[in-house]
Amino acid sequence: MAKRKVLKFPDERLRRISKKVTEFDEELAELLDDMRETMYANDGMGLAAPQVGVPIRALVMDVGGNFFELINPEIINAEGEQVDEEGCLSVGKFNDIVKRPSKVTIKAQDRLGYHYEITGEKYFARCVCHEIDHLDGILFIDKSEHGKEFKEKFGKK
Ligand code: NI
């Protein structure tokens, strides 16, 4: 395993739409192991592959001490609403308020390609929505209360 470099806003590579994973091979396993190590080394709750410069639909998360790996995740149901603070390893010290669903059901695959579904609330729902946004080139500052000001200040001029 090795730590990888986390891309920081306003790096344009964070804005790419990531591709679906079709090969569940050794390269994917290695990437996921590296992402796990990189996330923990940076005290993150989640990390998406595009954040380490690999534009594929894969993410890792740690919610309440439980580790998750989601490949090709899709939100198949979202309900309720929660409003809370969020941060991101690609944004740095800026935290801000974002509205998210309070409960979501996700369809995904594991590192071997097996399909599964998972339903979660609270932090799980917040985190998985944040990470899936990364796969579509979306950052929390695109949705947060003061994100516009942040982008004006620190974005590419
Ligand atoms: Ni993030």
| 7 lies in some domain | no
- CATH number, domain with residue 60: 3.90.45.10
Buried b (16+ CB within 10 A) or exposed e, 112-146: eeeeeeeebeebbbbbbbbbbbbbebbbbbebbee
Asked, for residue 107, whether it belongs to a domain, the answer is yes
Total count of domains within the chain: 1
Is the model's pTM score more than 0.85?
A: yes
| Helices and strands in the chain: count of H runs, count of E runs | 3, 7
Give the pLDDT band of residue 157 (cuts 50, 70, 90).
low
What's the pLDDT at 135?
A: 98
Q: Three-state DSSP class for 154?
A: helix
| Residue 38 within any structural domain of the chain | yes
Ion ligand 1: protein residues whose beta carbon lies under 5 Å: 88
Q: Is residue 145 part of a domain?
A: yes
Q: Which residues are catalytic?
A: 131
What element of type H or E holds 29?
A: helix 26-41
**Does residue 116 sit within a domain?**
yes
What's the gap in Å between 29 CA and the centre of ligand 1?
21
CB 51 within 8 A of CB 132: no
Q: What is the pLDDT of residues 65-119, one digit of tens each?
A: 999 999 999 999 999 999 999 999 999 999 999 999 999 999 999 999 999 999 9
Please check the confidence at residue 150 and state whether its pLDDT lies above 70: yes
The tokens for 142 are: 């695109």
Look at residue 1 and tell me if it is in a domain: no
- Kindly give the distance from the C-alpha atom of residue 76 to the centroid of ligand 1, in angstroms, as a whole number: 21
Tokens of 118: 């998972």
pLDDT at 155: 92
> Which pLDDT score, from 0 to 100, does residue 1 have?
76
For residue 121, tell me if it sits in a domain.
Answer: yes
* Cα 62 to middle of ligand 1, angstroms: 13
Q: Is residue 110 part of a domain?
A: yes
pLDDT at 156: 81
Q: In terms of pLDDT, which residue wins out, 1 or 86?
A: 86
Residues 6+ apart with CB under 8 A from 115: 107, 108, 109
Ligand 1 centroid to Cα of residue 130, in Å, is 6
Could you read off the pLDDT of 16-71 as tens digits, one per residue? 999 999 999 999 999 999 999 999 999 999 999 999 999 999 999 999 999 999 99
Distance of alpha carbon 24 from alpha carbon 88, whole angstroms:
27
CA 87 to ligand 1 center in whole angstroms: 7
- Domain of residue 40 covers 12-154
C-alpha of residue 40 to centroid of ligand 1, in Å: 14
